[in-house]
Structure formats: C-alpha cells, structure tokens
Structure 1
C-alpha cells in the first residue's frame, strides 16, 4: 500500500498553496539532529510475515550486554526499524559484529543521520566476512584479497599481518555485499602470466538463503525463478547450484579464533578512543584501559609475592603469641577475674591480646591466618614442582 501511495504522490499536480515552502529554523530540530547520529536503520530481509514486537525485543535484549546504556527500538515503517544507541561507541560495537539475524533471516543495518526521507533510503547492503579458498600461498596477501573482494562488493578490511601477508587455509576479507544479487560462489583468478585458477568462497554467519537462485531475501519455496521454471534445474545439472557448503565452518581452530576475536576487540577499542577522546566522565580509551589492566595484574602478583615472603615471619609471630597465650590463659583469666572483683569472665566474647607490633589480634583470627599462610605456601610449592598441571 505504501509503495502504491508513493507512486500516486509523485503523479499529483500541486496547487499554488501546496507548492509554497514552510520555512523552519534549525533550532527547531537541533536537539533531534544530535541524537540521530547514534541511530541505525534496520530491515529484515524476508518475504514472510513476522512479529515486529518480537524482533524489537529480541534485538534490544541481544545488544543490551554489548552497550553501555541499552538500546531503544522503534517501528517507523513497513519492515523498517530505528535503533537508538547512547553514543557512537555503542553503535559501532553492534556494526562491528555484523551480520545479525532474526528468525534465521538477515537483518540489514545501515548507518543513519536523519537528514534524508525514509522513502529515499535503500537498505540493500550488508557486511560479511568472506573466506577465499584455493589460493596459492604466495597470493595470500592484502592486495590480492582486496582485488578479489572488490569484484564482489565494497572491501572494508582484509585480515593480514603487518607486512601484508595472510598465509593460512584461506584468505579472509570483510566485504559489503549487495543483498539483491545472488551470492558469489567462485571466481577465476589469473596471477601474472600463469594460467587462471578457480577459487571458491564461503561466508561466515550466513543466514537462510535460496538454494535455487542464491539470493538472501527468500527461501527456496518462495523463489519466483523456481516457480517460473516449475522447479526444473539447469540443463547441465540435476542439482541445486547453491547449498550449505557456502556457509563457512563454525568450528575454527582455537588459535585462529582467538586472533580473530582479538582483532575485533581492538577495532572496538580504537572506536572507543576516537569517540570518547575528550570525554572526561568516561575513560575508556585503549591508552588507559590496557595499562590499567596490566597494572592491576602486576599489583596482584606483587601483593601475593609480598604475602608469601612475609608468611614465615607472620607464622613465627603467631606461634609465639599463641604459645604465650595458651600457656598463660588460665593466669590471664584468673587475673581478669580478680580485677573484676571475682566476677566470672564472659568467654563468649573474643579474647584479645597485644601482639609484638602493638596490634590487637583475636586468637581465632591468628589461628586462621596461620592456617591460610601454610595453605598458600603449599599451593605455590605445588605450582612450582608440577607446572604441567597449570599449563
């Protein structure tokens, strides 16, 4: 209905009164303009009906732990949603973790600043990590990944070392793809004067897509091409040209998984430093976070080492104090009773004595401290003698 209304409005002949401009000062929308830069537009790429309320609640709950003050969701059109974040860092954190899915369908996200009419905004692109397989080792470089990725869409990043090499099982490229086009399965690559080779692609976190035509906005049952062809395959093949093999394997080796996670965290941290560089209320830049974490760990280790080094002297003091207190317990109680006029001593209260360093210590606390120090000594000795347990 809204699409038909847009066509009707474009065909209208405006009257003189309707064609006059209404002038509005910038102060009238200045506050709203400042908030729109922290927003994302979203559209669920599907032809099936879905529950809009469930989508909003699901995505806000999913993104809440990733943000500082949560997310607000609004329904602003036919399959069009506005997600409002607290600041630029929260918004970039969600974008870095793209793509996102709801009900196994792709949720297309777009940066939004609020200066365009919704009818003129197209949500036709989505970010994917693409794995490129069967490249020779010498061709696994940042430049080759960028060249191949640009034939698929807009390249945002190529995962590579500082010198540009990216040796491994595959070359990993982050590409902004046009979701209206079929997924790219293979490409022919010609390296210098060598014969061309065939490389194939796999997509990380790939949602539902059509195994018949390879598009992301519908499944095989809703495919119009399949209905026109009455389900018949191409003449040269009796099988679908697309399949689950386009999905990148979920189980990745531990070292590579940690490296990929580190890259995304560092990218998010750089966003924090850039956005909150002048924010005195929140100190989250990488220059402060990393030293704080290192200092915390060094401080803990130093404190623990100091405790272990002083444990033997503490034990000796406790032993002497406790020996004196135990030997003279009856005399102490008798003396206290005499000073109180022969009244009985309340043994339910903790008996406190003066230690060598002038600090009052409860006898029970001294005993617990002694036991704890012996336990810590045994634990660290076991660590030193059996390093394989802690590796």
Structure 2
C-alpha cells in the first residue's frame, strides 16, 4: 500500500491551481530542528523482510538506551533514531557499524530538508584492524596512509600505542558501500619493503 502511494506521488500531474505553493509557517521551528538534530536515519541493507520489532528491541538493548531512544518508521524502509542526548547519538555513530540478523544497518546523520526521496547511503564508517605489519609500521602515520588507501580516513586509534598492545593497527575508515570490503593487500614502506597485511 505504502509503495503504491509513494509511486502515485511521484507521477501525479497537478493542475495550475493545485500547483500553487502552500506557505508553511511553523511557530516552533527552532525546537523541532533541535529535536531532529539529535537523529540518525538508517536502513537495513537487505531486500529480505526484516522483523522490525525484534530489530528495534535488539538495538535498544545493544545501545543501552531502552525507552530513551525513539525509533520512528519514516517510510521506504527508513527508520529515524531519535536520541535524548548528543552523547548518546555520538556513541552509536562512533561505535558502529551495527547489524541485525547479518544485515548491515547503514546510518547517516539527519540533515535539514531530508526526505525519504533524498536519503542515500553511499559510504559507511567501519573500524578496521590491520594485522601482519612490521613492528615499526604500527604507528599513527602508517595508519593514516593505510586508511586513506582503503577509503576516507576518519581516525586512527592511538590508544593502543599508549597501552601494552602493538599487535595490530586499528583505523576507522568510511568505505564505499558499492564495493566489497577489502580483505588485505600488499603495503610498501619507504624503503621499498613489501608486506602483506590482513584487514579484519
């Protein structure tokens, strides 16, 4: 039913009278925009039907938010995740990606004038571990170079270098969703030494 209505909206031809613009003057516009600014828009990347009730319950549990999180169906498989605090939103954004029943939940931050027709999911941030590097290449500078060669670098996790862990590099990269995730590849140092690294 919903898809038929949306299809009809796209193909409707308006008369001259109908095509006259309707002015919308929201008195509480600032308050509404402030509430929406604490939202993420998401879609499960699958063509199979999803048990939304179970998915919502699992996400509330994983994100430890319970009833603090509003999950609103906004059509075309899109869900709006409305948070009470910016810190909650940022925690979910920074600790993804998230999935349900092996289906990736693609997320993006809400933007003004966004509608179900304009939402696209072109890339997604992933935490990637790089294993198999020489000890002297497990550092922030090497992480920056490797991250930029995989996708759009977000950050290198430097906490590991300050702790007792130097077995792998951990980098956060925005990866295009239209390509398969890279599993590894050769990495060449300044000295011309090639090392094969594993990406997990």
Q: TM-score, normalised by structure 2?
A: 0.82
Distance change in 2, residues 1:48/1:201 (3 Å): same
The answer on 1:131 being equivalent to 2:129 is yes
What is the rounded CA distance, in whole Å, between the counterparts of 1:45 and 1:22 in structure 2?
36
Matched, 1:74 2:72: yes
Judge conservation of contact 2:160–2:166 (CA < 8 Å) in 1. no
> What CA RMSD, in Å, does the superposition of the two structures yield over aligned residues?
3.1
Q: Secondary structure at the match of 1:151?
A: helix
Q: Output the CA distance in 2 between the equivalents of 1:125 and 1:182.
A: 12
Q: Which sections of structure 1, spanning at least 5 residues, go unmatched?
A: 203-391
SS of residue paired to 1:50: coil
Aligned equivalents of 2:173, 2:4: Cα separation in 1: 30
Question: 2: distance between equivalents of 1:143 and 1:7?
Answer: 53
Q: Could you tell me which residue of structure 1 aligns to residue 60 of structure 2?
A: 60
| Higher Cα radius of gyration | 1
| C-alpha displacement of 1:62 | 3.4
Is 2:106 the counterpart of 1:104? no
- CA offsets 1:136-168 (integer angstroms, 9 cap, x no match): 22222212111111122222211226999x972
Q: Could you say if the C-alpha distance between residues 100 and 15 of structure 1 is closer, same or farther in structure 2, counting changes exceeding 3 Å?
A: same
C-alpha distance 18-153 of structure 1, shift in aligned 2 (>3 A): farther
Does the 8 A contact of 2:45 with 2:106 survive in 1? yes
Post-superposition Cα deviations, 1:159-211, rounded to whole Å, max 9, x if no partner, equal 226999x9722111111222221010223322224143332211xxxxxxxxx
- Aligned-pair CA distance for 1:36: 0.2
Residue 82 of structure 1 deviates from its aligned partner by 1.0
Q: Larger relative contact order (C-alpha < 8 A, sep ≥ 6)?
A: 2
Supply the distance in 2 between the matched residues of 1:198 and 1:182 (Cα, whole angstroms). 19
Give the match for residue 41 of structure 1. 41
**Secondary structure, counterpart of 1:27 in structure 2:** coil
Q: Which residue number in structure 1 is paired with residue 148 of structure 2? A: 150
Higher strand share: 2
The corresponding residue for 1:168 is 166
User: Structure 2: which 5+ residue stretches go unaligned?
Assistant: none
- Give the conservation status (yes or no) of the 8 Å contact 1:140–1:167: no
Count of aligned pairs between the two proteins: 199
